[in-house]
Chain A
Amino acid sequence: MRRASSALGFAALASAVAFPLLATQVTWQNTAILMLMTAQMGVAWNILGGYAGQVSLGHAAFFGAGAYVSTLLTIKLGISPWLGMGAGAVVAAGLGVLIGWPCFRLKGHYFAMATIAVGEIVQTVVNGSELLGGAVGFTLPMAETGFWGFVFNRSKLPYYYIALGLLLATVLVNWLVNRSHVGYYLRAIKDEPDAARSLGVSLTRYKMIAMVLSAGLTAMGGTLYAQKELFIDPGSTLSTSLSIKIALVAILGGAGTLWGPVLGAVVLTAIEEASRIAFGGTGRGTDLVVYGLLLVLIAVFQPAGIAGFFQKHAPRAVPPPEPEGEFP
């Protein structure tokens, strides 16, 4: 079983590496890059929303932090986006701690609602701030091309491999968390927070660890997005629909599983591209219809996500959402 799955993983990795060399059409490569970037967001979200069970619907705030911090550092100070990526991750992690401090006291759905509010606040602040580009956003100069400048205009290939590398790094972080005591503690917190506390697990500390990792990695995806598009504005990097998409990728594929979010990203991106072709580029909003429909279908028929089809002991139905703890 283990040998079969590692063989499968190796095959998937090999085909991911080979894909853009075989599919040389730019549209194919673009879709593939989109899939990798979407998967990376879902895998990053999964640490907090999947393993720790803290469903965030405000992750666009972290994605935007990554995009805006690196962009501002590049435009205003001429700092390489690679360094900006690190700075964005740090800023997002700090933002995560600020959000987590009050919001981790909230239980279940209330936490999710609070994160929507935080996402909206960040969006509103950026929209109203001239320093942060307001509603217009920023266009990144194509001046410094090449690796250090993180701008590639001749071929999509560098973006593809950077996205693949970032995804693999994010999966690696997930894997390490899952194998360590932190992963056990996060799952314990998700299942029975009071029992976890009675065994010495500090809920705040471990939720915060999950938040910092999840926010930081999401921000790195935001920097990659900014460098690939060379344009950011609140609508593309901070919107609530982006937050929902990030969560949906993981939930669709299987929250709390290592590869579920990757599967979710492949399926979701394929559906989005298909609906874009079917309804045309003018159909802004069809993506939201698709998200809504998928959420309903998952909730009713397959709460464990796509990964649940491959698991032996997948939960059969939605476990009744117990009120998180009878204790204050």
Chain B
Amino acid sequence: MSAPLLEVEGLTKRFGGLTANEDVSFTLREGEIMGLIGPNGAGKTTVFNSLAGFFPPTSGTIRLDGALVGGLPPEAIAARGVARTFQIVRIFRSMTVLENVMVGAMLHHRAVPAAATIALDTLRFTGLERRAHDPAGQLTVAEQKRLELTRALATEPRLLLLDEVMAGLTASEIQEAVELVKRIRARGIACVVVEHVMEGIMPIADRMLVLENGRKIAEGPPAAIAADPVVIRAYLGEGYIASGH
């Protein structure tokens, strides 16, 4: 078994009196996909922001390849191979689709022609190349989410943090997104996927991690998680089990 790519140990994040994450621990190996689920307000996005460097953890450690990265700024974490998407898309609206992706590619390829070549390749991989020269703001919501994913991929990450990339998509678009994440894994890129869309996350996750009120309440393979009474209670409330469903 290879050494873990990502090790999170006792991650706690407080905002004043509010505890968003408390004592969250997990590991992730290369090429592994972990689904991060939990009810609204469970602290999923806070975990993301801590991993991506947007929030310094209050306590606990985050290691990437054994090196401590918790508390580093986002740009330093990006340089170490962690890329992310945002829950609310943050594309560069004054640029074309291609230029958006080029900004990602420039992390490792500063020369404009080289960045353009890599950006086009990445757009081809995600199926957005026919939109390459359109202004980014003209894309549909599904395409904008795909553009963010493409832009993140162009940084050549080893760990990809996907924040609700399937929310608001139609059934066929979700299917496309699932296929895309599978192809990303085939490239050896590990993913942490925050998702509410269960039919999107269940078939692709190697493991699921469930948060409730900032704490980890369950972790395991998707099938086991779906049957776990603790998880069902967190999502559906006490009465659901009591009434014998």
Contacts and interface: CB of A to CB of B under 8 A. Distances in A.
A197 B74 contact: yes
A181 B106 contact: yes
Contacts of B65: none
Given A184-B106, A185-B103, A188-B92, A199 B54 contact: no
Interface in A186-205: 187-188, 190-192, 194-203
A315 B137 CA distance: 10
A328 interface: yes
B22 interface: no
B44 to A, nearest CB: 16
Contacts of B84: 198
Contact of A191 (B49, B86, B92, B152): B92
A285 interface: no
B135 interface: yes
Nearest to A199: B104
A198 B93 contact: no
B83 A198 contact: yes
A305 to B, nearest CB: 14
Nearest to A190: B94
Given A184-B102, A185-B106, A201-B103, A191 B93 contact: yes
Contacts of A192: 90-93
B52 interface: yes
Contacts of B95: 184, 187-188, 191
Given A179-B112, A197-B78, A200-B79, A184 B103 contact: yes
Contacts of A180: 112
B107 interface: yes
A17 to B, nearest CB: 31
Nearest to A201: B75
B52 A198 contact: yes
B93 A319 contact: yes
Given A180-B112, A184-B102, A188-B103, A195 B86 contact: yes
A187 B94 contact: yes
B73 interface: yes
Contacts of B110: 181
A205 to B, nearest CB: 9
Contacts of B115: 181, 184
B155 A199 contact: yes
Interface residues of B, number: 34
Interface in A154-200: 179-181, 184-185, 187-188, 190-192, 194-200
Contacts of A196: 103
Interface string A6-47: 000000000000000000000000000000000000000000
A195 B88 CA distance: 11
B155 A200 contact: yes
Contacts of B53: 197
B151 interface: yes
Interface string A217-252: 000000000000000000000000000000000000
A327 interface: yes
A3 interface: no
A313 interface: yes
A187 B54 contact: no
Contact of A328 (B55, B99, B152): B55
B240 to A, nearest CB: 34
Contacts of B99: 184, 187
Q: Which of B74, B107, B151, B152 has the most CB of A within 10 A?
A: B74
* Nearest 4 pairs of A and B residues by beta carbon: A200-B78, A195-B90, A197-B74, A200-B107
Interface of B: 49, 52-55, 73-75, 78-79, 83-84, 86, 90-95, 99, 102-104, 106-107, 110-112, 115, 135, 148, 151-152, 155
24 contacts: A181-B106, A184-B112, A184-B115, A191-B93, A191-B94, A192-B91, A194-B74, A194-B86, A195-B90, A195-B91, A195-B92, A195-B148, A197-B54, A197-B74, A197-B78, A198-B54, A198-B83, A199-B83, A199-B151, A200-B75, A200-B78, A202-B75, A327-B74, A328-B54
Interface of A: 179-181, 184-185, 187-188, 190-192, 194-203, 256, 313, 315, 319, 327-328
